[in-house]
Amino acid sequence: MQAVLRLGDDALVLGQRLGEWCGHAPALEEDIALTNIALDLIGQAQSYLTLAGTLDEGSPKTDDELAFLRTDNEFQNLLLVEQSNGDFGDTIARQFLFDKFALLRAEHIAQQTFDLDAAAVAAKAVKEIRYHADHSSKWILRLGDGTQESHSRIQQSLNNFWEFTGEMFAADEVDIAGAASGLLPDLSTMKVKWDSYINEILEKATLVRPEDGLMQTGGRKGVHTDELGIMLTEMQVLQRTHPGASW
């Protein structure tokens, strides 16, 4: 259940973040692209959280209850996805680092048979995430192999987010149990594929892969950066002020 909850939380937090771009993107077409991606993620979040809610047999919850009534230390999303959007380049860098991880993960879950409900959600998500990864990697190529300004700024964005990439591959007991059951992929194998993809794109974009340094972790255990609390305050205020409200 925790594994599925994490899938939902990653999607929910990132979807909420991308939704913040609505009306603010640098071009109309990008505004629609980013918000479409946000909607895809929110759809995935709804499916995964509904499933996670039913897996908690002691106290089953709805997707809305999980999304709007948990506090930040109950969320198990990656620290990477809760970071502020920054400017367009920052958002693209964050997407680029996350999308390939999400794609590899979803591809695995779609073909495993331990949990067929999760497999169905993941199979639909794979098509969406394939487009997200294409979108972000193409932008990395344009910005990296672009003007001097775009090159140095996207390099800086990648450098800034690099410390959050370690957490994607830091296996804890949930990941180990998940890999044993077949539900989740083996993270060390996945990291090899992720590395080769990231390196290939960065090289084509004439960008430098940031040095591995200290990696931030804690998101999977509910220990988050300040960013998440602030974001949740805005996201949850309506449900908390008027509990049970609906459109």
Partner 1 sequence: MSDNKSNWPLWEVFVRSRQGLGHKHVGSLHACDAEMAIGNARDVYTRRQEGVSIWVVPADSITASSPSDSEALFDPANDKVYRHPTFYVLPDEVNHM
Interface positions with partner 1 (CB under 8 A): 26-30, 32-33, 36, 131, 134-135, 138, 142-143, 145-147, 150
Give me the count of residues in the chain.
247
CB of 153 to partner 1, least distance (A): 11
Q: Which of 36, 40, 37, 50 minimizes the C-alpha distance to 8?
A: 50
Nearer CB in complex with partner 1: 154/184: 154
- Rounded to a whole number of angstroms, the minimum distance from the CB of residue 29 to partner 1 is 4
Terminal C-alpha separation, the chain = 29
Q: Which is nearer to partner 1, 64 or 145 (CB)?
A: 145
Measured from the CB atom, the residue of 74 and 134 that comes closer to partner 1 is 134
DSSP H or E stretch at residue 232: helix 226-241
- Specify the residue, 65 or 145, whose C-beta has the smaller distance to partner 1: 145
Task: State the nearest-atom distance from the C-beta of 176 to partner 1, in Å.
Answer: 38
In 75-157, which ranges are E strands? none
Shortest approach of partner 1 to residue 235 CB, angstroms?
24
- Longest pairwise C-alpha distance within the chain: 57
Distance CA 17, CA 12 (A): 9
* Sign of the torsion angle spanned by Cα atoms 198, 139, 8, 75: positive
**30 vs 65, beta carbon nearer partner 1:** 30
Q: In a 3-state reduction of DSSP, which class is residue 218?
A: coil
Nearest alpha-carbon partner for 142 in 40, 234, 30, 229: 30
Query: In whole angstroms, how close is the CB of 24 to partner 1 at the nearest point?
Result: 14
